[in-house]
Amino acid sequence: MGTPETPGQNPMYRFLAVMTVCSTAGLQAWQTLFNNFAVEVAGLQGKHVGMIQSVREVPGFLALLAVYVMLVVREHRLSALSILVLGAGLGATGFFPSYPGLLVTTLAMSFGFHYYETTNQSLTLQYFDKGTSPWIFGKLRSLAAASNIGVGLLIWGLSVVLDFSSIYLFIGLCIAAAGAWGLTRDPTDHRLVPQRKRMILRRRYWLFYFLTFMAGARRQIFIAFAVFLLVKNFHFTVREVTALFVVNNLINYFLSPAIGRAIIRFGERKVLSLEYFSLIFIFLAYATVQSRAAAALLYILDHIFFNFAIAIRTYFQKVGDPRDVAPSMAVGFTINHAAAVFLPALGGILWMVDYRIPFVGGACMSIVSLIAVQKIRV
């Protein structure tokens, strides 16, 4: 097993580090280019873009099917294959500038991203012990933040000399090549406890399921309405939103490993309690803030606390059967995305009544989560 001081000595850490950089870079490239490509090249309307964004969440909701894929494909190979599919979907996007074409390429990219994230969580919990895994999760998030900044700068530079199709193809081929490299690696340790190859739902894991669902619901409020608030109510420009994005990732690059160390030192209950207690006030502040600077600060704080959610997975590692890790992470990923099916639409309707309602709802969910997390006993 690796330790916080020597993670590079563990082949699985090196494997996951490369795959995580590719996964994050692929999603970030898609998000950065999609809206402009959809409007300027494909000529899509708002209803088309909304449907494509909904379709993008479907593979996350179907993550539990990864358990059955692992009946025929070993888990680390599924990780690499997922990155290969992500890269292929991204690389093909520029060649299909139409509504049906973007539906198909988005679905391929999203299946690759979500299935990799499912196996990433599972392999990290299997290959790193309870005293190490929080730091590893934090370090991987740090690499993801650096990847986000790097791919943003890359696209900014490439956009001067290449068109959309060429940028998609270049980044997609690089990611697919890394996935192909991953298929040639075998970072596994055959001494580990074998994983159950079927869907697992156990009553004693109810707290993990509940906290995972609530974290997904909170994430949807952040994604759907926090940036919208900045743009709609405070008239943030694209440059200002981009600057916030860069600041967030710079902070997370340095802070994520520290969050992992805090989980190791103080435990999951205290760290998650701090998150949910803070989120109560952050959501209420979203509903009442009048200052542009204060709104930007709330966005940054919200983004920081999002990383505390790794404590939910390390909590499972401490209470779960080691054989249940892979199927439980797949089920957890599906539960996390369940809120994406209905919450943005419901929140949008409530926003039309009063924009404060989704944020007050987020504060209420944080109170419920704070109460629930006190039941953590490890």
Residue 258 belongs to some domain of the structure: yes
The DSSP string of 298-333 is HHHHHHHHHGGGHHHHHHHHHHS-GGGHHHHHHHHH
Per-residue confidence (pLDDT) for residue 308, from 0 to 100: 93
Predicted confidence (pLDDT) at residue 312 exceeds the cutoff of 60: yes
Number of folded domains that form the chain: 2
Residues 215, 149 within the same domain? no
Residues 100, 236 within the same domain? no
What CATH number does residue 353 fall under? 1.20.1250.20
Structural domain that includes position 261? 202-378
- Tell which of 163, 192, 221 closes a domain: 192
| pLDDT tens column, 190-245 | 888 888 888 888 999 999 999 999 998 888 888 778 888 888 888 887 678 778 88
Place of tokens 């933040």: 145
Residues 166, 297 within the same domain? no
Residues 180, 314 within the same domain? no
Residue 6 belongs to some domain of the structure: no
Residue 333 belongs to some domain of the structure: yes
Residue 69 belongs to some domain of the structure: yes
Residues 340, 219 within the same domain? yes
Residue 190 CB neighbours (<10 A): 6
CA atoms of 368 and 364, how far apart (whole Å): 6
- Tell which of 139, 157, 192 closes a domain: 192
Residues 304, 376 within the same domain? yes
Residue 315 belongs to some domain of the structure: yes
Per-residue confidence (pLDDT) for residue 362, from 0 to 100: 92
CA quadruple 38, 43, 49, 53: dihedral positive or negative?
Answer: negative
| pLDDT tens column, 122-147 | 999 999 999 999 999 999 999 999 99
Question: What confidence category does residue 149 fall into, taking pLDDT thresholds of 50, 70 and 90?
Answer: very high
Per-residue confidence (pLDDT) for residue 238, from 0 to 100: 63
Tokens at 334, concatenated: 């599906």
Mean pLDDT of 360-365: 94
Residues 240, 174 within the same domain? no
Residue 1 belongs to some domain of the structure: no
Question: What confidence category does residue 287 fall into, taking pLDDT thresholds of 50, 70 and 90?
Answer: very high
> Phi first, then psi: what are they for 45, rounded to 5°?
-100, 175
Structural contact between residues 87 and 174, judged by C-beta atoms closer than 8 angstroms:
yes
Predicted confidence (pLDDT) at residue 95 exceeds the cutoff of 60: yes
Question: What confidence category does residue 289 fall into, taking pLDDT thresholds of 50, 70 and 90?
Answer: very high
Residue 118 belongs to some domain of the structure: yes
Residues 212, 348 within the same domain? yes
Per-residue confidence (pLDDT) for residue 137, from 0 to 100: 95
Residues 130, 252 within the same domain? no
Residue 128 belongs to some domain of the structure: yes
Residues 373, 232 within the same domain? yes
Residues 207, 173 within the same domain? no
Structure letter (DSSP) for residue 41: T
Give which of 7, 141, 22 is closest to 87, Cα–Cα.
22
Residues 152, 269 within the same domain? no
pTM of the model: 0.89
- Tell which of 171, 192, 213 closes a domain: 192
Residue 262 CB neighbours (<10 A): 19
